[in-house]
Amino acid sequence: MNGYDLIDAVGAIDEKYVAEASAEKKSTGRRWVRWGALAACLCIIVGGVYLATRPRGGADIPAPMPAEAAEVKPAPVVPAPVSKDDVTEQGGGGLYIPAIDLPENTEGEMDMIGLIVYRGGIYTQSGFYSGDEALAIEPLVGEYLGTCDGTIDEWSAREEYERDFAGNIPGDFYAVEGYDIGFRICMVHEWPDETGSPTTVIEFFDRLNDITLTTGGDLFENRLHLRGRVEDIVWQSHDDWNWNRGNFRDAGFDPGTWDAFIDTLDEGGFVYTWDPDRSSAFYEGVPNSRIYDTPNQAHLTLSMEDGTRVELRLIEGGYVGYGPLNWYFVKMPGDAFDAVYDACGGTHETGWAVAR
């Protein structure tokens, strides 16, 4: 058998497949919704509130809480890192991402990320789909899990976060087919679009706190299931991403390059890059400050075969970040990272030293 035999044999496939493929297909175009950009109830935390602070080591990734758990474990209070010496890179036991620490009281104004408390864990908003994109992923909306009362707001006391089904977005929430409910749940709404017509909106909420991540595979395979399921990759320059200009471009690398990237990503360890010593250096005109301040970044949007999207941030030096994880990155060694980074508009401006 050779290539000619196969191509010839394709000629005699069922005529209905040939006819099906000859039907004209309208292009629907792509509409990109940058996560967190549009939801009326989604805001960025400001003021004195922070997420996921000091890392710890050693705990295993928890399995989803059993349904019969009646008591919701209160979120542990985690002190802020006091120096970069407190920051530890991934060791044999993995990197623990603490539960979200919420303030005892709020004197100033505070905005909040969309969140839901479920089975002892806090799930925060991670994806937003509306219109045609929401309709495309509607089949993923699974079993009804509960109804969030939406009563939490910036003035809620800590105890109010300890109730199951508490949250700041009212509505029913559901499992997401293909994803563990210990990681991802979703809400479905009907909201008016810009013309006032009702449009379907689906929001994902991921639990990415009070967990331990040992390797990239713990996130990108065990939770997000990237391997073999990425259908399309586009990228934005950091400048376009920063100014929300769109201008998405096709990633031109071949599937082998992507597979090598995924293989190495899955084996990489997590590092924590927050450095309080650098927290204000950028604003004093000093370069070599926080990892997010470097212009040497590339932004990838992966379209998954189930219609969902995963956004990755690549920072020069081998750092791969998943948006909701903030200061936690997978650190990858050189070649496999560089091939994708360079193909996706990654720059190499000098004078910017990234975190260790």
Partner 1 sequence: MDDDKIVDLYLARDESAIAQTAQKYGPRLRQIAERVLGDPSAAEECENETYMKAWELIPPNEPRTYLFPFLGRITRHVAIDEYRKCSSLKRQGVFCELTREMEECIPAGCRAEDGAEALELSRSIDSFLGTCTPQQRNVFVRRYWYFDSVSEISGRYGFSRSKVKTMLFRLREGLRSHLEEEGYTI
Q: How many CA atoms within 13 Å lie on the side-chain side of 176?
A: 25
- Per CB under 8 A, 70 contacts partner 1: no
Candidates 35-43, 183-191, 208-216, 224-232 — which segment interacts with partner 1 by CB under 8 A? 224-232
Q: CB pairs under 8 A, 24+ apart, for 229-234?
A: 229/304, 229/305, 229/306, 230/258, 230/302, 230/303, 230/304, 230/305, 230/310, 231/303, 231/304, 231/305, 232/302, 232/303, 233/258, 233/300, 233/301, 233/302, 233/303, 233/344, 234/30, 234/300, 234/301, 234/303
Judged by beta carbon, residue 6 or residue 40, the one nearer partner 1 is: 6
Question: Which tokens go with 293?
Answer: 């301040």
- Residue list 270-289, contact with partner 1 (CB under 8 A): none
- Per CB under 8 A, 234 contacts partner 1: yes
- Per CB under 8 A, 131 contacts partner 1: no
What is Dmax (Cα atoms) for the chain?
75
Displacement of CA 193 from its chain's centroid (Å): 25
> What does the DSSP 8-state code read for residue 96?
E
Binding residue (CB under 8 A) for partner 1 from 303, 306, 323, 347:
303
Q: How many residues bind partner 1 (CB under 8 A)?
A: 43
- Least separation in angstroms between CB 14 and partner 1: 5
Binding residue (CB under 8 A) for partner 1 from 138, 153, 232, 239:
232
Element (H, E) at 336: helix 334-343
Judged by beta carbon, residue 11 or residue 66, the one nearer partner 1 is: 11
- Per CB under 8 A, 12 contacts partner 1: yes
- Residue list 235-254, contact with partner 1 (CB under 8 A): 250-254
- Per CB under 8 A, 13 contacts partner 1: yes
Candidates 19-27, 207-215, 313-321, 328-336 — which segment interacts with partner 1 by CB under 8 A? 19-27
- Least separation in angstroms between CB 22 and partner 1: 7
- Per CB under 8 A, 9 contacts partner 1: yes
Residues that bind partner 1 (CB under 8 A): 1-22, 24-30, 228, 230-234, 250-255, 258, 303
